[in-house]
Structure 1
Amino acid sequence: MKIPIYPLKFDPIYQYRLWGGRKLENLLSKPLPAAEPIGEAWILSDRKDHSSQVLEGNLKDSSITNLMEEYRYEIMGKNGLDYDRFPLLLKYLDCKEVLSVQVHPSDNQKELLPEGDTGKTEAWIVLETIDDSIIYAGLKEDTTKENLLESIKDKTVSERLHSFTPKKEDAIFIHSGTVHTLGGTVVFEVQENSDTTFRLYDWDRVDAKTGKPRELQVENAMKSIDFKQGEVGPVIPLVDSAIKNAEILFDNDHFKLWRIKNREAFTVGFKDEPAVLVCIDGKGSLNYNDQEYHIAKGEVMLIPAIIGQLELHPEAEITLFQIAIPDKKFI
């Protein structure tokens, strides 16, 4: 007999990155691994090499990969036929230094993707900035394949990229094919469940761990770039009157994300669809089957589709992201 499923929280998976820092320790309220730069915390990941494990309850230490095998329809509901693995990858990024100039392929570019993998459309929400924070997103109007390649040789790539100074709470949508990078900021990232990235340029850095520069993938990057994609800036949030104090930041083929700030109880979750909650500030609780489940700053909670809608009760004000998944996969 199966163990009944319930609202699930997961342990973060930390990733060394030469451009990272130590700020995620405060966001997650947990000590980071040994004193090295941690650039990413994967807070919900269904990948063979990095599969999130349940933090507490009767399913503690179960991986999301195994849960998707055993509880796929309980988790995904009406989308159970469409997804054989959890379709999103959620992260926090601590970009102490500027990342490589990079691009991700689209779902349709099968020749550039590992077998069974998707393209990578993603989005960022800015959580922290410093005086010299910067985001590069999209190409300047007169950029072509030829002059972009020339700028790599000349080490003037940044002059070909649109850039702006981000502010806390900015939300930026990065469609596959968009050249991008960022630095001096902490962001939350939601993306397709893919880890395919092609580097165009890496600022001539040397990885302290290997003593060598990181590999570039210029040829595949050029194949992935959408040269029709113009300059990208912060999105304009849309007020959602159906949820008190909620705004829609992203709504596309791969995910829909609300930002909710509330002091009063409000409904989370969906009928026959999964929901993911990411708490950015504050804390709260919800009741399911006469048991209290708590969520606090930095934590992620997956509400399986079989559970449906629940009331979340904040302690003082809570800020969280609620994420929904489309009905059908677009690959």
Structure 2
Amino acid sequence: MDVGMPLPPIRLQPIFRPMIWGGEFLRPWLTGEPSSELIGEAWLLCDLDGTCSRIAHPDPGKTLREFLLRFPQFVDNSGKNADGRFPLLLKFLDTKLDLSVQVHPNDEQARRLRPGSLGKTEAWVILHAEPGSRIYAGLKHGVTAADLRAAIAHGRVADVLHAFEANTGQCVFIPAGTVHAIGAGIRLFEIQQSSDVTFRLHDWDRLDPKTGKPRELHLEESFACIDFQRGPVAPADEVFVECPYFRLRRRAGRFQDCCGDACRILVAFDPHSTDRSLVGELHMGNDRHIELRNGDTWLLPAARSYSCALHDTATILECEPRFGP
């Protein structure tokens, strides 16, 4: 691509992450290939040291990091993204078993506990939920540090967690410091700060099948990060989150917009389809129409207009990074 030419949108390849709680859905859905292992996460966009997304189109094989070093204006047209790294991580999750009860640090806590890392505020959109599946989000009203320590010691952690039945379409905002766990039987989309720092409080007394031993817990780090004032977190039926790190919203039908000073990420899916079927079209300026397929992740350059035409049951989860005032 010529540095002087208008930058095109880029489609990213997913990175599959095996997990002991994962399922069999993500790899066949996103690649059409069978899965020989339990995949818990498909990282749709990632710019971490050691793990970086690769471009599927129009520059196949090149890493997102290589691309952004050459075209930093793609992500941020204002100059506020000082370190040049992509500030968000996007993923799909597929839970065959419950995830651990966990908490993430804020930026200040991450700098102290895991130097060089960011904190992790995140939001989820539930794409599919089996009947009776549960989300644990926040502590019940009035739960103190002493209450939580006692519940962990006596194997009663679930008793102090706020929980609700998961339903397709719900949106859940999880600021750093919120104790949470995703239950079994759920597929969801997650947007988060670009961080892989997780502190486990409780892992449901299970053993890691690879080692035959319990997975490591991080009790003191967890208690150093928990916000005991937050209390329960309720789901929202509308998908709209605006916080200092990102904006997330759901879009459907036909729409047009402009990316402004920050790029946009479009994640396309159809809840009624389980393959890579066509779900709509994307158009930018004089570029040709680009097919949107179920599960696609497209990164759109800053300062460019775009339009989408989606099929009746299709949805775009539109994400935008925030770079501060």
Counterpart of 1:301 (choices 298, 302, 305) is: 298
Cα–Cα, structure 1 residues 81 and 20, in superposed 2: closer, same or farther, change >3 Å? closer
Q: Does 76-85 or 65-74 show the bigger shift? A: 76-85
Q: Deviations over 1:117-166 (max 9, x none)?
A: 21000011000111221000000123111121111111110101000001
- Distance apart, 1:32 and its partner CA: 5.1
Residue 211 of structure 1 corresponds to 212
Residue 123 of structure 1 corresponds to 123
Q: Deviations over 1:29-55 (max 9, x none)?
A: 53254x221000000001122100000
Whole-Å Cα distance in 2 between the matches of residues 90 and 144 of structure 1? 32
Q: Is structure 2 residue 315 aligned with structure 1 residue 319?
A: yes
User: TM-score under structure 2 normalisation?
Assistant: 0.91
Identical counterparts, % of pairs: 36
3-state DSSP class of the match of 2:97?
Answer: coil
Whole-Å Cα distance in 1 between the matches of residues 142 and 74 of structure 2? 50
Residue 229 of structure 1 corresponds to 230
Cα–Cα, structure 1 residues 13 and 91, in superposed 2: closer, same or farther, change >3 Å? same
Q: What number of residue pairs does the alignment pair up? A: 314
1:126–1:169 contact (8 Å) kept in structure 2: yes
Counterpart of 1:266 (choices 246, 255, 258) is: 255
Q: Is structure 2 residue 132 aligned with structure 1 residue 132?
A: yes
Counterpart of 1:286 (choices 280, 283, 288) is: 283
Residue 198 of structure 1 corresponds to 199
Q: Structure 2: where are the runs of 5+ without partners?
A: 271-278
Residue 174 of structure 1 corresponds to 174
- Distance apart, 1:284 and its partner CA: 2.0
Q: How does 1:1-331 map to 2 (within 5 A)?
A: 2=2, 4=5, 5-25=7-27, 27-31=29-33, 33=35, 35-57=36-58, 59-183=59-183, 184-237=185-238, 249-262=240-253, 265-281=254-270, 282-306=279-303, 308-328=304-324
3-state DSSP class of the match of 2:147?
Answer: helix
Which amino acid in structure 2 is aligned with residue 301 of structure 1?
W
Whole-Å Cα distance in 1 between the matches of residues 324 and 190 of structure 2? 21
2:281–2:289 contact (8 Å) kept in structure 1: no
2:141–2:231 contact (8 Å) kept in structure 1: yes
3-state DSSP class of the match of 1:97?
Answer: coil
3-state DSSP class of the match of 1:120?
Answer: coil
3-state DSSP class of the match of 2:126?
Answer: strand
2:30–2:295 contact (8 Å) kept in structure 1: yes
2:103–2:225 contact (8 Å) kept in structure 1: yes
User: TM-score under structure 1 normalisation?
Assistant: 0.89
2:137–2:178 contact (8 Å) kept in structure 1: yes
1:93–1:186 contact (8 Å) kept in structure 2: yes
3-state DSSP class of the match of 2:248?
Answer: strand
Q: Does 96-105 or 267-276 show the bigger shift? A: 267-276
Whole-Å Cα distance in 1 between the matches of residues 22 and 314 of structure 2? 27
3-state DSSP class of the match of 1:18?
Answer: strand
RMSD: 1.9
